[in-house]
Structures are given as C-alpha cells and as structure tokens.
Structure 1
Amino acid sequence: MRTIALMLASAISTGAASAAPSGYLDGRPAGYVTVIDGRTLWFPGSAQKVRLAGIDSCELLQWAFDPKRHGNSLILKPVPCGPLSKAWLKRLIGGSRVVCRISSYSTDGALAGRCTAGGRDLAVDMLRVGWARVKGPSRASSEYLRWQRYAMSARYGMWATYVIDPDEWRAKAVERTLARKPIADFNLLSERAHEISPPFLDARRRPPRSDR
C-alpha cells in the first residue's frame, strides 16, 4: 500500500509540474525576452508584456539634443534617445534569462514589476547608465534615487542631453511614425512644461516650423 501511495503522489506532482505554464518561474514571468523599448520587455513564452516598475525612458520615436553647438546651425545636434535607451537595455540583458516579480499593472494594461537578469535589477542598471529616470511610487526608493543622482552628476545617457519628459512627450507628440523628424521634438522642447534637463536659452527660441 505504501508503494502505491508513493506512486500516486509522484503522478500527482508530475501532473502538476506539467500543467504549469511555460515562461514562468514560481508564478513569475521568466525566460528569454525581446526588448521593446528602454523600459518594456516581451516574454514570448508566456505572451506577456512587462514594464520595469519605478522608471521611465524615452519613447522609441523620441529625440533628445546635444547641448554643444555644431557650426552655425540653429538646431542642436539630435540624439536618438529612444533607440539608445532600447539598445542599452538589450546590452544589459545580453543573453541572460529575465525573471520579473510583478507588482502592478501599467496604465495601458501591461504588467509592471521588478525584473532581474543575472541577479541584477534592470531598473537600477538603466538608472545607473543614465538611460532611464525614476518615476511613480519608487521615487521613495533611496536606491533608485541614488543611482539617478549618480548618473545625473556624471552626465551619463539622457542626462548629457536636453530632453523633454517622456510623459510630456506622450501627451503632446502628434507625429508618431518613423518619419518623425528631430525638429518636431525641438519644438516640443522649446515649449516644455516640465524641466528635467538643465535650463538653456537656445531651446526657448521658436523655430520657423511648427511640426509636432
């Protein structure tokens, strides 16, 4: 009877294991990912989109600007803030598996949580290299704020540029195709409501075009 009981227990545990959905580890999204942008991951194994909680980054189509003047141009040299943020997140993950501990949902319905690759917090690493900024309730996180201050003081990533707050960009940007030109973000920057970069006079000059 004891042998039969052990066999039944083994069968039940095996069945439970096989019933567990792929792409999860202890109920958390886990596995290899596709990087969508500087704060968003796609888990193909579980068909889930996960945002890095507590941080924000430039949208893929968003431009920032080098504060150094190049020649006599009235427009500052554009910096592809969105693609660079995405590239850095891909670099930080490399070929590692990612595990996320979900804490909430983002406003568009995507999951949001703390994600690690190789045991490292991806949000912390993005803040450390300057391609993300602290956002939301995690403003209370001393670690996140400490790494943001570190990157800002070193002028890493987006902190070496003049850039509009990503939330403000999402609210105001009209043209959201690959055809979007840097002048559109220069115009938005010149009328920004919130300052996240050091103030500078040239960005306040109204350009002759009004693309958005």
Structure 2
Amino acid sequence: MKRYLAAAVLAAFVQPATAADLVKSPIIASRQYAPVYQYPIYKGRVAVMDGRTLWYPQYAQRVRLVDIDACELPQWALDPKWGNRERQKGPSPVPCGPLSKAWLKRTVGNRPVECSVVAYGHDGIPQARCTARGRDLAAEMLRVGWARVASPASSQYLAYQNRAMAARYGMWATYVLDMNEWRRKAVDKTLDRRPIADFNLLAERESEISPPFLDARRKPKRTDR
C-alpha cells in the first residue's frame, strides 16, 4: 500500500505540464523589450557654418535646423532693380549664402544653443529644433527672410515665411534660384564661384520661389503707355 501511494505521488509530479499549469505557475519567463531610442540633445556654444548649419566643437558634431532651407555659401542671388542696362550687363549680385550665414551668426551671437534632434537627414546629419535664449533659430531665420521652409505643406513655420515674402525681406527681395535646384545644377560649388554662373542658372530655371519673378510676369509687355 505504501509503495502504491509513493508511486502515485511521484507520477503526479512527473506528469507533463498543460497550458493551465503554465498560467497558474508563479514562475514568469523573462520578457524581451526592444530598447527605446532617444534622440540626443546638444547644448553649448556653437560655430555657424552656413544659414542652416551649426557646429558643436565639444561634440565634434554638425547640426541642421529642421524644417528650413537656406542658400548655400557659394550661391548667388540677383537684385531685380536693374536700372541702367546699357552700362550694366546684368543685375547686381547678392551673396545670399554669406548673408544667410551672417544673419544666423547675428541671431546666435555668443549665447549657448540648445538643439533637440528630431530626425536625421539622408547624409546622416542630425536635424534639430534649436533655441538660443528661448528664441527659435529656424523661426528667426524665416522672419528676416534669409531662409525658406523646407516643406510648405507640413511646416509650422509657414506664417513666418509668408510675412517675410510680403514685406520683401532678405532673399525675397531678390531673384533667387530654389536651393534644391541649385544643388542639382551647380557644377562649381566652391567659394570662388562667380555670379554669372547663377545668372545663367536663373535664366533656365525650372521652378521659382522669389516674388520678383511673379511680379515680372504681371508687368505689361508695353511700358510706354
């Protein structure tokens, strides 16, 4: 009898576990969670590389202002006020790339900048919302007219650009080629690039972003009456 009871108890312990047994079991298998990736935040003094790019020397890191675009440093715009066409072969050049950089540098000054990365570009450079003393640097560049929104359909900054365009601030007072088209077509991208190169690109432009182009189309063909 004792042998029978011992065999029954042993059989109860060695029986295969069922789904119900697993639910009732106090032992829970360790769960594997995917790591949550957090974008970095950069803080400190910066150097201005161009009208949309900052350099953090302490991190050895470039950061771009998200949602805006600006003229590249070698890019030229042209002054639409072309008065004496007999003496002057073309409109006066406007260095929109260096002016964009100068305005961003003026906005930053010597203040520390905080950049919260929100995405990464195709070139791997972080794109961030950057502030200096509570001022959104992207909004400031749009407000003075030396940058444009990168994607008008989804930008929260479009109102700043519209006001700058209406007032003809910054590059909106010039003939300027769309930056993406300039990057595609400009063969020489060195700082020694001459204004005539961009004058030729503007003559065969595919798209236009500056109001003077539209103004010129509205002008009558005859101006003597």
Question: What's the TM-score once normalised by structure 2's chain length?
Answer: 0.74
- CA distance in structure 1 between the partners assigned to 2:203 and 2:123 by the alignment: 28
| 1:1-212 map, 5 Å | 27-72=40-85, 73-136=88-151, 139-142=153-156, 144-198=157-211, 199=213, 200=216
SS at match of 1:60: coil
For residues 159 and 73 of structure 2, the distance between their equivalents in structure 1, rounded to whole angstroms, comes to 26
Q: Which amino acid aligns with 1:112?
A: Q
Structure-2 change in CA distance of 1:31 and 1:139 (3 Å)? farther
The one-letter code sitting in structure 1 at the alignment partner of 2:120 is: Y
SS of equivalent to 2:193: coil
Unaligned runs of 5+ in 2: 1-38, 218-225
> Hey, what's the Cα distance between the residues in 1 that align with 2:189 and 2:168?
28
* CA gap 1:139/1:35 in 2 versus in 1, 3 angstroms: farther
Superposed CA offset, 1:73-96 (max 9, x none): 231110000000000000000111
Q: What is the alpha-carbon distance in structure 1 between the residues aligned to residue 124 and residue 155 of structure 2?
A: 24
Paired residues in the alignment total: 174
Whether the 8 Å contact between 2:77 and 2:94 is mirrored in structure 1 is yes
Aligned partners of 2:40 and 2:117 also within 8 Å:
no
What TM-score, normalized by structure 1, do the two folds share? 0.79
**Preserved CA contact (<8 Å) 1:124 1:147:** yes
Conserved 8 A contact 2:74-2:192: no
Residue equivalent to 1:23: none
**Residues 27/104 of structure 1: CA separation in 2 closer, same or farther (3 Å cut):** closer
- Within 1, Cα distance between the matches of 2:203 and 2:139? 30
Structure 1 vs Structure 2 CA RMSD: 1.5
Provide the C-alpha distance between the structure 2 equivalents of 1:107 and 1:164, rounded to a whole number of angstroms.
22
Question: Is the CA contact (8 Å cut-off) linking 1:55 and 1:135 kept in structure 2?
Answer: yes
- How many Å apart are 1:184 and its aligned residue? 0.2
Inter-partner Cα distance in structure 2 for 1:127 and 1:77: 23
Q: How far apart are 1:108 and its partner, in Å? A: 1.5
**Which has the greater radius of gyration?**
2
Q: Tell me how far 1:35 sits from its aligned partner.
A: 0.4
2:42 and 2:115 in contact (8 A); partners too: yes
The secondary structure found in structure 2 opposite 1:140 is: coil
**C-alpha contact 1:70 1:77 (8 A) present in aligned 2:** no
The alignment-based identity, stated in percent, is 60
